Structure 1
Amino acid sequence: MIEKLEVVHLRMLSALYEHGTVSSAAEALDVSQQAVSLQLKRTREIVGDPLFVRSGQGMVPTPYAVLIQPHVRQLLALLHAMPAPGSIPLAALERTLGISATDYTQRIIVIDLIRELRRAAPRVKVKIFNIEGASLVRRMQEGEIDVAFTSNGYVPEGLLSTPLFAERYACVAARPLTEGQRPLPLEALVAHDFLVVSPGVPSFDGSAGTWFEQQGLRRRVVASVPSYFMALEYLRQSDLVAFVPSRLLPREGLFEVPLQKVPPGFQVVAAYHASAAADPLLAWVLDHARARVGPAG
């Protein structure tokens, strides 16, 4: 039964220990005498002991009440020592920050974030996970991952997201495909073989497949890789073309292909679970990410 004791019962017992009368305890707690009497009655029922009995000098603790007095003090001291949300400075925070990110957002956001976090919160460890979708919500609910940096189209249902910046796509190849800055017609572009990046499940569709179909064109995709950094290396050593986020450029050995029009870009967001919305460390991460990334190049 003792597990049914509540904080209000412990505070009432502490006041009776200190003041010795129901009236003085009620005044210290800023409640009515009737409230103290009702709390004492309920506490007696829970522990199976009178706890305090009346005498000419007020309320006298029973032997059992004397026995548990150090425990009551200890429990209340632990409660009072419990930190309030946001009361621990970042510099004193000790925990692990789990980040899920693509290789692109790791390069654009996470590298700088870790460097600054080492200064602001040196006791915080960082664990980086590859981007995923299937189990992201569950792993955030379980506290394994705190934040995911991804595009807005890949945020699973059930998560909150904060926009960070807009990105555009650029077409690149290992050699110039036009003279000067003269735009290359899309009809000429689709004559080349394409490489696409598919970070999750391997696929030949890519993010621009539907867009080409809307232009009445069909491109020929011959290679699919899981990361942009692999894509950039493959492109440097092949005759393939690909669309990559503009913030990864310029890159030695690659040329941006001027086009009449390009596929629509994407919004980079920070996704997180609602249970972490008030987390001061997450708030710092979001503020830092927003401050460090500006409009797309």
Structure 2
Amino acid sequence: MREKLELSHLRMLSALYEHGTVSAAAEALDVSQQAVSLQLKRAREILGDPLFVRTGHGMAPTVYGLVLQPHVSQLLALLHAMPMPTSIPMEEIERTLSFSATDHAQRIIVGDLIRELRRVAPRVKVKVSNIESAALVRRMQEGDIDMAFTSNGYVPEGLLSTPLFTERYVCVAGRPMTEGLGSLPLEALVRHDFLVVSPSVPSFEGSAGSWFEQRGLRRHVVASVPSFFMALEYLRQSEMVAFVPSRLLPCEGIFEVPLEKYPPGFEVVAACHPSATSDPLLSWVLDFVQTRFSTDRSRRL
């Protein structure tokens, strides 16, 4: 029966030990006298003893009540000694963080984040996996993933997203194409073979397909790859062109192709499950990446 005792019962007993009357105990606990009487009645039922009896001077503990007193004090002391999440120093936190990220975010965000975590929280381990938008909500609910870094369009409903920065696209190739002649017209660009990046489902559409169509142009896509890293490698070995995020440049063996116009970029966000908002370590992670890219944004302006 002892396992049915609640914290309110322990606090009520402690107040009665200290103050000796129901009215004084109720005032100390900021509850009604009736509430104290009901809690005492329930504690008596659970423990099978009156615990306190009335005297001419208030309430006095029974013999068993006196035996319980140090145990009640010890339990409450242990409870008060429990550290709050925000009181644990970063260098003492020992756990594993799991991040899911696009290859672009792994390069731009996660590398700096791991380096800073090694400095301020050396006992924290980090697991990084490629982004899986379809299973992201379930895996976060199950605790498999703590935070995701991806583009805003890939955040499923049910997750919270925090904007970090806006990325723009640049056109690149494995060789110089304009040779100082200025910007390449889009009509000339679409005469070249294109490589597109399609990270989730293989596709020849790519992020800029509709943008070209709106301008009455159709590009010739000949290759689709799942990551920007592999796209850059394939470009070095071919005559193809592609759009990649600007923060991946400069890159050895890759040359920017100046254009008159560019397709719209995308917003990079940090996404997490609503239940993670009370996690102090994840709050630190979010603060770090927000500060990191607000500083970076200021430098670019």
Q: By the TM > 0.5 criterion, same fold?
A: yes
Q: Residue 146 of structure 1 aligns to which amino acid in structure 2?
A: D
Partner of 1:12: 12
Partner of 2:139: 139
Q: Please provide the CA RMSD for this pair.
A: 2.3
SS in 1 for 2:133: coil
Contact 1:212 1:219 in 2 (8 A): yes
Partner of 1:216: 216
2: CA distance between counterparts of 1:209 and 1:79?
A: 60
How far does residue 140 in structure 1 lie from its aligned partner after superposition?
1.5
SS in 2 for 1:86: helix
How far does residue 71 in structure 1 lie from its aligned partner after superposition?
4.5
Which deviates more, 211-220 or 235-244?
211-220
Partner of 1:246: 246
Which deviates more, 40-49 or 192-201?
40-49
Partner of 1:121: 121
The answer to whether the aligner puts 1:204 opposite 2:196 as a matched pair is no
Which deviates more, 287-296 or 51-60?
51-60
Q: Which sections of structure 2, spanning at least 5 residues, go unmatched?
A: none
2: CA distance between counterparts of 1:21 and 1:229?
A: 74
The structure with more helix, counted as a fraction of residues: 2
SS in 2 for 1:161: strand
Mapping for residues 167-182 of structure 1, pairs under 5 Å: 167-182=167-182
The answer to whether the aligner puts 1:155 opposite 2:174 as a matched pair is no
Partner of 1:166: 166
Q: Deviations over 1:223-254 (max 9, x none)?
A: 11111111111111111111000111111111
2: CA distance between counterparts of 1:58 and 1:8?
A: 21
Contact 1:181 1:258 in 2 (8 A): no
Which deviates more, 73-82 or 248-257?
73-82
Partner of 2:112: 112
How far does residue 208 in structure 1 lie from its aligned partner after superposition?
1.1
2: CA distance between counterparts of 1:32 and 1:278?
A: 32
1: CA distance between counterparts of 2:74 and 2:142?
A: 31
Q: Residue 257 of structure 2 aligns to which amino acid in structure 1?
A: V
How far does residue 116 in structure 1 lie from its aligned partner after superposition?
1.1
Partner of 1:256: 256
SS in 2 for 1:223: strand
What is the count of residue pairs matched by the alignment? 297
Partner of 1:84: 84
2: CA distance between counterparts of 1:63 and 1:9?
A: 18
SS in 2 for 1:271: strand
Which deviates more, 227-236 or 5-14?
5-14
2: CA distance between counterparts of 1:134 and 1:75?
A: 46
1: CA distance between counterparts of 2:67 and 2:226?
A: 65
1: CA distance between counterparts of 2:25 and 2:284?
A: 43
Q: Residue 116 of structure 1 aligns to which amino acid in structure 2?
A: E
2: CA distance between counterparts of 1:209 and 1:286?
A: 33
How far does residue 66 in structure 1 lie from its aligned partner after superposition?
4.9
Q: Which sections of structure 1, spanning at least 5 residues, go unmatched?
A: none
Which deviates more, 43-52 or 169-178?
43-52
Percent pairwise identity: 77
1: CA distance between counterparts of 2:104 and 2:233?
A: 14
1: CA distance between counterparts of 2:179 and 2:23?
A: 94
How far does residue 112 in structure 1 lie from its aligned partner after superposition?
0.9
Contact 1:172 1:244 in 2 (8 A): yes
Q: Residue 252 of structure 2 aligns to which amino acid in structure 1?
A: E
Partner of 1:234: 234
Mapping for residues 93-104 of structure 1, pairs under 5 Å: 93-104=93-104
| TM-score of the pair, normalised by structure 1 | 0.90
Which deviates more, 162-171 or 202-211?
202-211
1: CA distance between counterparts of 2:34 and 2:292?
A: 59
